[in-house]
Amino acid sequence: MIRLAQPPRADWQRIVEGQGLIWHTADGRPYWDESVHYRFTAAQIDTIEAATAELYRLFLAAGDAILADPALLARFDIPAAFHQPIRDAWAAEPPALNIGRFDLGYDGAGPPKLFEFNCDTPTSLLEAAVVQWDWKQAVFPALGQYNGLHEALVAKWRDLADYLPPRVHFAHADEDSGEDALTVAYLRDTAAAAGIETVPLLVDDIGWDHDAHRFVDADDAPIAALYKLYPWEWLTREAFAPQLADSLATGSTLWIEPVWKMIWSNKAILPILWQLNPGHPNLLPASFDIPDGDAVAKPLLAREGANVSIRRGGRVVAEAAGAYADQSYVYQALYPLPEPAPGCFPVIGSWIVDGAPAGLGIREDGLITGNTARFVPHVIEG
């Protein structure tokens, strides 16, 4: 796993914009950074793929344990009204893409280590599935890339088609960067490629029909199935939370992804994974209590590195601002990320689709990976 420099394509901005990546520059510097890339050996990719499959197995077992123990579920700060809907959805296994991104620390030699699992609202999907593949084909056509994401997504939508209503709504928040809109547009494209009719929708335009007891869109059309790039923990705290619980109980809307994703995407699962699998090579020690050694403090529901702090020798050496400071925290042992360039620390994003490993992306940032991290492509040698 080495980091190498190469000249960016002369018209790279036009190329990636044509692929839908409008949000390619942030704070005056490239977010999509093709001036460097990472090279892996086939054996290293095999290691990452095997670790991803193993972590998914651990999450399945942890889900069973958490939902069987009310005391464990209480650690997640999930409103009590949604505990039973989570259990019901876990048992029923409603149609789902079951996609997610394991964020891993990896130095190319030791076992990959789990930082967290982004499986409710994972982004950087278009970059990983399409943009870096096109870059590889143009710049290093003879080399490989660990990337079956696009094909896996289309295949999974095709598998789901018989279990879905005629139209599926796709919703996201109206946020400034456009990243959520980009991700949802790409997922709509993959669904359309599988023959599914899709309808765009802003979260703010979701309404409730009190007579029919169901969610509707801005045209008052029923929302029979909804893919939403909007966190479950936000939905359960919206003014319409009682109606949401009603919808989950009656099944009037099929939610993609299902409500049980709340337990996997919540960082409270990290100490529980460690309790269930102490010493596992792909896990870092984690606790609900402040440890004696070097650690990373993470709010349960923080996003994009917000309010994360790094503690060494009892002293905070790095921290990120954010709006999650008043949450409960977990503490994960500090993993020394490789630093192939000064101030540059890569985090592996290893993707699953339908629970199976499907490819990876890499983001580079400082000690804390935030929303201004750069996406860097990769290839496989030989």
Q: Residue 175's pLDDT is what?
A: 80
pLDDT at 372 over 80: no
170, 294: one domain? no
Split at pLDDT 50, 70, 90, the class of 291 is confident
N residues, the chain: 382
pLDDT tens sequence across 24-77: 877 778 899 999 999 999 999 999 999 999 999 999 999 999 999 999 999 999
188, 120: one domain? yes
321, 353: one domain? no
Split at pLDDT 50, 70, 90, the class of 313 is confident
Domain assignment present for residue 277? The answer is: no
174, 309: one domain? no
Domain of 352, in residue numbers: 2-266+338-380
- Among the residue ranges 40-54, 80-94, 316-330, the one predicted with the least confidence is 316-330
Q: How far apart are the first and last CA of the chain?
A: 13
Domain assignment present for residue 278? The answer is: no
Domain closes at, from 300, 317, 333: 333
Domain assignment present for residue 356? The answer is: yes
260, 323: one domain? no
Domain assignment present for residue 273? The answer is: no
368, 224: one domain? yes
Helices 42-67, 83-92: crossing angle, 10 deg rounding? 120
Domain assignment present for residue 371? The answer is: yes
How many degrees, rounded to 5, is the angle at CA 241 between CA 235 and CA 244? 85
* Distance separating alpha carbons of residues 77 and 263, to the nearest angstrom: 10
227, 327: one domain? no
Q: Residue 380's pLDDT is what?
A: 98
* Distance separating alpha carbons of residues 113 and 105, to the nearest angstrom: 5
Q: Residue 302's pLDDT is what?
A: 83
* Distance separating alpha carbons of residues 239 and 222, to the nearest angstrom: 19
pLDDT at 292 over 80: yes
Question: Contact 229/184 with Cβ under 8 angstroms?
Answer: yes
For the whole model, what pTM was predicted?
A: 0.96
* Distance separating alpha carbons of residues 357 and 253, to the nearest angstrom: 29
252, 368: one domain? yes
* Distance separating alpha carbons of residues 377 and 146, to the nearest angstrom: 10
How many degrees, rounded to 5, is the angle at CA 249 between CA 248 and CA 253? 40
Domain assignment present for residue 112? The answer is: yes
